C-alpha cells in the first residue's frame, strides 16, 4: 500500500517525530506509549476501539534510520501472525515535507484489506498531528 502526505514542517522536524519513538507515540492516534528495549527495538502499547469497546495489545517493533537519505523503516510483528513493514521516504519541498510511505502486510490470515483501511486512517491523523506540533 502506498500513501503520500504533505506536512507543513521542515524535513528535520518530521524525521525527529518518525525516528524518536517517544515523540512518535505522542502524536500517534492509537499508541499510548512505547518501551525502549535497546538496539532500536521497542515494545508498542496500542489501543483500538472495536465499536465502543477498547482493545489494548502490545507488539515488538524494530526501526532502521538512514539520515543521509531521510528514510526510516519499521518492522512490527502483531499477534505473532502478521508482519507489518513501513518504509517512510522524506523529501523537502519549499519548507514542506513530502512523506512517501510504503506499507506491506504479511499474514497467514486475510487481514490485508482491513489493516489497509485502519492504517490509512491512522497515518492520515498521525501526519496531521505532527503538523500541529
Q: Residue 82's domain is classified under what CATH number?
A: 3.30.530.20
pLDDT tens track for 69-116: 899 999 999 999 999 999 999 999 999 999 999 999 999 999 999 999
Are 70 and 90 in contact, with CB atoms under 8 Å apart?
yes
Q: Does residue 23 sit in helix, strand or coil? A: helix
| DSSP code at position 12 | H
Q: Residue 10: its pLDDT value, please? A: 94
**CB atoms closer than 10 angstroms to residue 62:** 14
Q: Which domain holds residue 12?
A: 2-132
- Is 90 exceeded by the pLDDT of residue 50? no
CA dist 89 and 100 (Å) reads 5
As a whole number of Å, the CA-based R_g of the chain is 14
Q: Residue 68: its pLDDT value, please? A: 81
Give the residue-averaged pLDDT of 1-11: 97
Average pLDDT over all residues of the chain: 96
Residue for grid cell 495489545:
57
Give the residue-averaged pLDDT of 16-32: 97
Q: Residue 67: its pLDDT value, please? A: 80
Q: Residue 69: its pLDDT value, please? A: 80
Number of domains forming the structure of the chain: 1
Residue for grid cell 524518536:
20
pTM of the model: 0.94
**Class of residue 130 by CB neighbours under 10 A (exposed 0-12, middle 13-18, buried 19+):** buried
Amino acid at each position: 500500500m502506498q500513501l503520500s502526505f504533505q506536512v507543513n514542517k521542515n524535513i528535520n522536524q518530521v524525521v525527529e517525530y518518525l525516528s524518536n519513538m517517544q515523540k512518535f507515540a505522542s502524536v500517534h492516534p492509537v499508541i499510548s506509549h512505547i518501551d525502549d528495549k535497546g538496539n532500536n527495538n521497542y515494545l508498542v502499547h496500542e489501543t483500538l476501539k472495536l465499536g465502543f469497546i477498547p482493545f489494548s495489545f502490545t507488539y515488538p517493533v524494530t526501526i532502521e534510520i538512514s539520515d543521509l537519505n531521510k528514510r526510516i523503516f519499521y518492522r512490527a510483528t502483531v499477534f505473532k501472525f502478521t508482519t507489518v513493514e513501513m518504509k517512510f521516504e522524506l523529501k523537502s519541498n519549499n519548507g514542506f515535507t513530502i512523506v512517501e510511505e510504503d506499507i506491506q502486510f504479511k499474514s497467514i490470515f486475510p487481514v490485508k484489506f482491513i489493516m489497509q483501511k485502519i492504517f490509512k486512517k491512522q497515518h492520515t491523523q498521525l501526519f496531521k498531528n505532527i503538523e500541529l506540533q
